[in-house]
Amino acid sequence: MPHLMALVAILLVAGTVHLPARAEDAATVRWPAQGARAEIRGPFRGSDIVVSTSSRTAGAIDSMTWAGREFVNAYDHGRELQSAASFDGYGECFNPTEAGSDKDGTGATSTSWLAEVRTGQNWLQTKSQMAFFLMPGQTTPGCPKGPGPYSTLRSDYALTKRVSIGVHGIANAIEYRATFSVPRAHSSAGYEVATAYMPPNFTRFWTYDPSRRELLPLSDGPGEQSIPVILATEDGSHAMGVYSPALPQASFPNLGYGRWSFTDLPGPGNATVKWNCVLREDNLSPGDRTFICYVLIGTLDDVQAGMSALQAAVTGSRTEASQPELHHGRSRANPGVRLFVGIEPNCNSGIITTDAKFGGCATAPIGWTLARRSAPGDLPIYVSTADGPSAGVVTSNPDHRDAPTRSIGFLLPSASDGTPVYVGTQDGCNAGVASTNSAHLNCSSVLLGVALP
């Protein structure tokens, strides 16, 4: 995952690399705010949580504020709150990175290419083609195998990211959903689903033990562990932590959450601290992988309470009474069926289901259906009840694969806030299968509707 350019000396082991002009955003990108920026916000304890991004970072989050405090260090293009991946044991030498490359430095543009930015009331979505963090032929101490096997500045690995504030009825919980589009097979992959580089005054490191729902002090590492990490100011007035229901992974039981302290780096704005949320995969085939990590901010007590509430929500113990009363005029007295999305590669990734353990693999909740149509635009949705691997798959087709289904309610129209639901349209691939991924299995899909948060 991206290291800091001040930490390492970069050695050119190939000939001169000629740099093209830095990438511009796609012509279709329309930034909603001045300065090529976009932001979303949600109220929490008397102050708005504000999450924003920019063209400079190709859609990566370069600012998150609450109660008068900035939570993100955006010094260079390896910082931010962003996503990255590495493959085949090359480390930084095969490291597609959302915000851009090490060469982009502290500059105003990115080698990554932004294809889309969209916002709703409480959500932000971007699509980008990620830059390789290092130039072709470069190496650092973070490259165990030497230079990576690529010759371009920008990779053909794409990222679709959706960030939503106030999920599962928890005002300080931010869902960070990242879909990595991997164009070729690899022996191994490490997905830095989300990492946050933070200002250096977040000096106190903590861990949250989900089994005991207890907060414990933690060293500043560096290190990686199986339970969530929280970084806080000395007095606990401001804190940020990360949690994922997919961690720890059975194949990597002691890994998942990392932390670092780089508070001794010289120069204005350079010092920083970091956490990350990492999932891993071996022997992967081409295709999309969707992962979810939840970011929580507030005071240290707020983050602990939010993690406890979030853990209850995503493990299915939330009761109907704990849901908000209204969502944009839609009554929660009309609840339908809870929906989940598979998040485990080579098993159920991207498939929307009513089964929290679909395929015997990890899932994450994405929202609810409506039990009854409450407006003309609400769209019917079904779940397969056939025997075999299709059982539990959500579909728009009441005769999916010429097998039995049952109605599970309705989706909101596509213009509503909530998690978008796509349905596959390609025969022999994903036809009729609902997904959170608009290119599930690298096949064609159409937007069907939106799940109620």
pLDDT by residue (tens digit) across 13-66? 333 343 444 567 899 999 988 899 999 999 999 999 999 999 999 999 999 999
pLDDT by residue (tens digit) across 397-442? 888 888 888 889 888 886 667 788 999 888 889 889 999 988 888 8
* pTM for the predicted model, two decimal places: 0.73
| Residue ranges of the chain assigned to CATH 2.70.98 | 11-303
pLDDT by residue (tens digit) across 101-145? 999 999 999 999 999 999 998 999 999 999 999 999 999 999 999
CA atoms within 13 Å, Cβ hemisphere of 229: 31
**Whole-angstrom distance, CA of residue 436 vs CA of residue 370:** 18
Phi-psi map region of 272: left, alpha, beta (phi>0 left; psi -120 to 50 alpha): beta
Fold of 11-303: Beta-galactosidase; Chain A, domain 5 (2.70.98)
pLDDT by residue (tens digit) across 315-368? 754 333 333 333 444 444 456 888 999 998 888 889 999 998 898 888 899 988
| Angle subtended at Cα 184 by Cα 180 and Cα 185, rounded to the nearest 5 degrees | 100
